[in-house]
A and B are shown apart, each in its own frame.
Chain A
Amino acid sequence: MTGYIIRRVIQAVFITLGVTLLVFLLLHLLPGGPARAILGPRANGVQIAQFNHDNGLDQPVWTQYWTYVQHLATLDFGYSYKLNQTVGALLAEDLPKTLVLVGLSYVLAIVIAIPLGIYQAVRRNRIDDYVLTGASFVFYSMPVFWLGIILIVIFSEILRLLPSEGPQGATVGDLFGQFTSLILPVVTLALGTVALFSRYMRSSTLENLVQDYVRTARAKGASEMRVLFFHVLRNALIPILTLIGLSISFIFSGALITEALFNYPGIGLLFWNAAIQQDYPVILGVVVVTGLATILGSLLADVLYAAADPRVRYTKA
């Protein structure tokens, strides 16, 4: 297992470099270049030349890329053209906020979805299963922005119980100081995920309930609760663990719509604005972080899978 993890980490470095190269080349294929896009319609030739020189954009693309990789090796992600901050500082500011928002929503989703899925499996094809299945489909198919607006209308405008915007401030401490402000954005994100996870959990539980080991456990006199939570749960969690591992990239890539709707500046919004403004260093910085998170998430899923299922072992082929 250790060897497998080391191989995957080394692999991750090369994949990340490949992703940066691809994105770097694609960015430089965009027409017009960033100078006029950043400087706006007032820019004259002198100012555009000055901008390109200051940012090394007058160098050949390969030279630019090599310089970027050298800086990346020292964790220097560059300087935003537009936001007057280092990309590292921007990531350090926005990434924790996104981690809090998306992380809390996933925790909430898991806490609700797993028992819900088991309950539905146990109560399969009964009225409460149908109702919960219907509700799951409604939340899963509902666009996030629509769900968010509905929650704002109900809880902020009609009932006036919760703020319509997320917590404000530059630090994570600021966020937890305004905990009630976190509720609506977290719930908005979580509801769709609950629907997804609970459907997986229900199916997985149903599959396990008809397995021989369950029949054996019952034949040996195990209580229904013991069968469910001691035997079935561990096996039924395997697909959910895979799903959670792969979802880590989403945690890092942010929740653009939720962030925009609830005035909660996170990494999703940072990336979106950078893409619109052709702020290359920021785009590349977010791509690197998200790429690494995707690879590590996939690795985590594999590790958790092996931990949950002793039959799975990773050996060198």
Chain B
Amino acid sequence: MTSRSSWRGRGAAAFLGLVATVVAASCGGASTVNKTTATFAELPGSAPNYILPLAKLQFFSVANLTQFQYLMYRPLYWFGKDGQVQLNDSLSLANAPQYSADGKSVTITLKTYVWSDGQALTSRDVQFWQNLVTANKNNWAAYSPGEYPDNVVSTTINSPTSLTFNLSQPFGSLFFLYNELSQISPLPQHVWDKQSATGAVGDYDQTPAGAQAVYKFLDEQSMSVGTYNTNPLWQVVDGPWKLKSIDTTGNVKFIPNTMYSGPVKPKLTEFDEVPFTADTAEFNLLKGGPTGPNAIDYGYLPEADAVQAQKDAITNLGYSFQPWAGWEVSYFPENFTNPTSGPIFLQLYFRQAIQSLVDQQTYIKRAFNGYAYPTYGPVPVKPTSQFVSPFQQTNPYPFDVTKATGLLQSHGWTVNPGGISTCTAPGTAANQCGAGVPAGAQASFHLEYASGNPAFDAMMAQFKTDLSKAGIQINLSTNTFNTVIGNATPCQTGHPCTWDMEFWGVWVYSPDYYPTGDLLWQTGAGSNSNAYSDPMADQLITATETSNSVQAMYQYEDYLAKQLPVIWMPTTFLQLSMINSHLQGTGPQDPLANIYPENWSWS
């Protein structure tokens, strides 16, 4: 930039002036910015398009929840504090829950909050949510059979500020708070409890049929994106922001809710989210600098451009580079139900051999340019949390070709480095290949991964090379993220099913923040994509749901870290944020993908 400026400059004075400007910009400067609004870059293809907090799964996304709905409709309990996964008492709408002595009921006491129309937020608003979600659970994204709201038998309103949930059985306080109460969002019953736009507000939610009719009406209203800022329903909010305008392409403008009862009131006069068609388009705007036309204040460096030179170029323009770690883990499942490869994957020694050939540090360094972190088990090692055990903070299976080769050889495989290893000692003895693995079985598999990410391409190419050192051949192919997800389901009788391994990226623990694995690795769980089943794992997962101690979590995660229900891979950041250096109050970034524009101000 300096040389370009000097080329354009004609005199020494002009040159010095430019240099001074560049230096000031690159230092973050003591200058001030005369702005009262801020813009936030949406990720490509993720414009907000569903406003009802009780979202269906196809609308269950960061764009719709944490970066849209939560700005206007606050959850009962807020998670995310100081950049860590923990309850945020200050931002929660209720005091800490009180459990009965037998653990079969929990009482919630609300703090003093009002809706933007001046009406108090009451326990009736929580009950309204409860009734809607119970009667429409199959339409609710976070529903998992047997869990919330199935485990709430009844709700008792004690007073306008207190209610009690009666539970089907005692649950652990951590599990119930982080995974069940975390999902509740009080809704303005006095405005939304109606079945048509012209109908009167009533108590329709008190019967299942009525609650279904109310949900149907609200869902239909939520299908008209362009009317969100004019429809009277959505004008009543309890969060710090109200909608000023929104269009169907994703341009969203928020203004402060002057009635917000929370502890931090917005300082900006407007907060805007802007859509992008592609990472390239966003990056082009970043390169225009924070004062360029349509400049972004809170954007991101695309992963494909995450090299030092590009990072430096953008930060020199006046942006601050801040990688954003999410509450997520990365892995790929091996298909235990594949008739050919499934019996091989079911052998723990074979999974250990594969995991020992995953050179996470090299992938992070070479494929992700350092912008990723290792995964050693089901609980993320970043960000710092109380949930990661001491054992899981180190790699149980560090990269070790010799160990991987030894594991195969000691279990009846003839290892052919650079070629394909074969099972030459079938059987179930300790030194044989294992149940269901026939003589001549080949260590040759197909791995399909999500396309469009150069870092994935580089990582997978290196992984293929690493596996070949122990004679494990993988044939790589790519497909769209959605297709990879679609393929990764357990085989069913009568349906063709040939996949061996599918890699799509990460699993995000949200809005069930307690990383119990009940949705992922419990026998028969909805998202158990490779049909992993282990009675001990089931028992440990159940213990995480009923124990009040984090020790139960440690036992569960240590076991799965060793048992390898999937192969752990490096986890990428949520995004590599580029934030206008003059924009204050943006950090630390929330691992649960929440944003707090009410904290932002200009220096």
- By CB atoms of chain A within 10 A, which of B59, B249, B274, B529 has the most? B249
- CB-based nearest B residue for A273: B45
Q: Are A152 and B284 in contact (CB under 8 A)?
A: yes
Q: Are A260 and B277 in contact (CB under 8 A)?
A: yes
Given A84-B49, A163-B293, is A265 in contact with B483 using a C-beta cutoff of 8 Å? no
Q: Does A217 contact B (CB under 8 A)?
A: no
Q: Are A41 and B483 in contact (CB under 8 A)?
A: no
Number of interface residues of A (CB under 8 A): 52
Q: Are A32 and B489 in contact (CB under 8 A)?
A: yes
Q: Does A302 contact B (CB under 8 A)?
A: no
A265 to B138 alpha-carbon distance, docked (Å): 33
Main secondary structure of the interface of B (DSSP, over half): loop
Q: Which residues, 51 to 96 on A, are CB-close (under 8 Å) to B? A: 51, 81-85, 89-90, 93
B1-42 interface code vs A (CB 8 A; 1 in, 0 out)? 000100000000000000000000000000000000000000
Query: What class of interface size applies to chain B in its complex with A?
Result: 35 or more
User: Nearest Cβ distance between residue B342 and chain A, in whole angstroms?
Assistant: 18
A82 to B56 alpha-carbon distance, docked (Å): 11
Q: Which residues does chain A contribute within 8 Å of B96, judged by CB atoms? A: none
Q: Are A160 and B292 in contact (CB under 8 A)?
A: yes
B279-290 interface code vs A (CB 8 A; 1 in, 0 out)? 011101101100
- CB-based nearest A residue for B246: A170
Q: Are A84 and B59 in contact (CB under 8 A)?
A: yes
Q: Which residues does chain A contribute within 8 Å of B480, judged by CB atoms? A: 276-277
Q: Are A38 and B58 in contact (CB under 8 A)?
A: yes
A132 to B256 alpha-carbon distance, docked (Å): 57
Q: Are B526 and A45 in contact (CB under 8 A)?
A: yes
A282 to B597 alpha-carbon distance, docked (Å): 34
Given A43-B57, A157-B287, A263-B277, is A84 in contact with B483 using a C-beta cutoff of 8 Å? no
Q: Does B429 contact A (CB under 8 A)?
A: no
Q: Which residues does chain B contribute within 8 Å of A158, judged by CB atoms? A: 4
Q: Are A31 and B483 in contact (CB under 8 A)?
A: yes
B224-239 interface code vs A (CB 8 A; 1 in, 0 out)? 0110000000000000
Q: Which residues does chain B contribute within 8 Å of A24, judged by CB atoms? A: none
A157 to B49 alpha-carbon distance, docked (Å): 33
Q: Which of B248, B281, B485 contacts A263 (CB 8 A)?
A: B281
Q: Are A44 and B288 in contact (CB under 8 A)?
A: no
Q: Are A36 and B293 in contact (CB under 8 A)?
A: no
Q: Does B321 contact A (CB under 8 A)?
A: no
User: Nearest Cβ distance between residue A255 and chain B, in whole angstroms?
Assistant: 12
User: Nearest Cβ distance between residue B524 and chain A, in whole angstroms?
Assistant: 9
Given A36-B486, A43-B57, A165-B294, is A170 in contact with B529 using a C-beta cutoff of 8 Å? no
Q: Does B538 contact A (CB under 8 A)?
A: no
Q: Does B145 contact A (CB under 8 A)?
A: yes
A170 to B228 alpha-carbon distance, docked (Å): 15
Q: Are B284 and A165 in contact (CB under 8 A)?
A: yes
Q: Does B400 contact A (CB under 8 A)?
A: no
Q: Which residues does chain B contribute within 8 Å of A89, judged by CB atoms? A: 248
A243 to B274 alpha-carbon distance, docked (Å): 38
Q: Does B487 contact A (CB under 8 A)?
A: yes
A157 to B289 alpha-carbon distance, docked (Å): 9
Q: Are A170 and B247 in contact (CB under 8 A)?
A: yes
Q: Are B482 and A277 in contact (CB under 8 A)?
A: yes
Given A168-B251, A277-B482, is A39 in contact with B57 using a C-beta cutoff of 8 Å? yes
Q: Are A31 and B487 in contact (CB under 8 A)?
A: yes
Q: Does B603 contact A (CB under 8 A)?
A: no
Q: Are A37 and B280 in contact (CB under 8 A)?
A: no
Q: Which residues does chain B contribute within 8 Å of A200, judged by CB atoms? A: none
Q: Which residues does chain B contribute within 8 Å of A33, judged by CB atoms? A: 486
A170 to B45 alpha-carbon distance, docked (Å): 15
Q: Are A164 and B284 in contact (CB under 8 A)?
A: yes
Q: Are B281 and A260 in contact (CB under 8 A)?
A: yes
Q: Are A84 and B489 in contact (CB under 8 A)?
A: no
Q: Does A305 contact B (CB under 8 A)?
A: no
Q: Which of A37, A82, A269 contacts B486 (CB 8 A)?
A: A37
Given A41-B527, A45-B526, is A84 in contact with B488 using a C-beta cutoff of 8 Å? no
Q: Does A216 contact B (CB under 8 A)?
A: no
Q: Does B60 contact A (CB under 8 A)?
A: yes
Q: Are B249 and A41 in contact (CB under 8 A)?
A: no
- By CB atoms of chain A within 10 A, which of B145, B251, B288 has the most? B288
Q: Are A30 and B483 in contact (CB under 8 A)?
A: yes
Q: Which residues does chain B contribute within 8 Å of A157, judged by CB atoms? A: 287-288
Q: Which residues, 33 to 88 on B, are CB-close (under 8 Å) to A? A: 45, 49-50, 57-60
Q: Does B556 contact A (CB under 8 A)?
A: no
Q: Are A265 and B145 in contact (CB under 8 A)?
A: no
Q: Which residues does chain A contribute within 8 Å of B276, judged by CB atoms? A: 263
With A81-B58, A156-B284 known, 6 other A-B pairs at CB within 8 A are A47-B57, A47-B143, A85-B248, A158-B4, A160-B292, A278-B482
A interface residues with partner B (beta carbon < 8 Å): 30-34, 36-47, 50-51, 81-85, 89-90, 93, 145, 149, 152, 156-158, 160, 163-165, 168-170, 259-265, 269, 273, 276-278
Those 7 A-B pairs whose CB atoms lie nearest each other, nearest first: A44-B526, A32-B486, A263-B281, A37-B482, A170-B247, A260-B278, A164-B284
Mind listing 6 A-B residue pairs with CB under 8 Å?
A37-B483, A39-B58, A156-B284, A165-B284, A165-B285, A263-B278
